[in-house]
């Protein structure tokens, strides 16, 4: 046996020990790295789950807010539609009443209606009231000092509409 081979043989237990130690240390490092990777992955999953839950919560909150806004807008638009329809009905009734009074102004009943309106004006403002009757219209305007009373066609229609306003509003109640 040569000196070199004997040295190798004498060092064999040491090299075997060192190789075995290096293998065990390598396995330990790989095992620790795997455990650390597993822990890191578990933490990442927990963080991802938490972020997902937060995102879902925010999404649900935003969806609720958006739905509430959509509902509020729809209610507002519906209310505007209802108010528009009510205004249209009111205006149509007003126009019909105004047209009817204008038709009456051209009828034989106009003189009697105007006479009655003059009586009402004098009852309200007194016999000394000055009366002005617009030509071709139902109505009269009366003045007595600082006081005046408008009983012309447009004013009469407004009074009629005010007096039947509740009845008209019952149409959509």
**Per-residue pLDDT tens listing for the chain (173 residues):** 787 677 677 777 877 777 788 888 888 888 888 889 899 888 989 999 989 999 999 999 999 999 999 999 999 999 999 889 888 888 888 899 899 988 988 899 999 999 999 999 999 999 999 999 888 889 999 999 999 999 999 998 888 888 887 776 676 66
What the block records as the tokens of 4 is 């070199």
Q: Do residues 129 and 143 lie in contact, with contact meaning Cβ atoms separated by under 8 Å?
A: yes
Q: Which pTM does this prediction carry?
A: 0.57
């Amino acid at each position: 046996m040569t000196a070199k081979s004997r040295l190798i043989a004498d060092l064999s237990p040491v090299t075997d020990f060192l190789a075995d130690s290096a293998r065990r240390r390598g396995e330990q490092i790989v095992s620790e790295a795997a455990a650390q990777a597993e822990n890191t992955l578990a933490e990442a999953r927990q963080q991802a789950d938490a972020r997902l839950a937060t995102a879902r919560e925010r999404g649900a909150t935003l969806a609720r807010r958006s739905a509430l806004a959509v509902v509020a807008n729809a209610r507002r638009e519906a209310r505007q539609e209802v108010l528009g329809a009510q205004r249209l009905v009111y205006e149509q009734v007003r126009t019909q009443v105004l047209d009817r009074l204008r038709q009456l102004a051209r009828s034989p009943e106009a003189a009697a209606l105007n006479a009655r309106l003059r009586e009402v004006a004098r009852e309200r403002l007194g016999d000394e009231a000055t009366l002005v009757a617009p030509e071709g219209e139902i109505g009269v305007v009366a003045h007595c000092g600082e006081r005046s009373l408008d009983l012309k066609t447009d004013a009469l229609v407004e009074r009629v509409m005010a007096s039947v306003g509740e009845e008209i509003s019952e149409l959509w109640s």
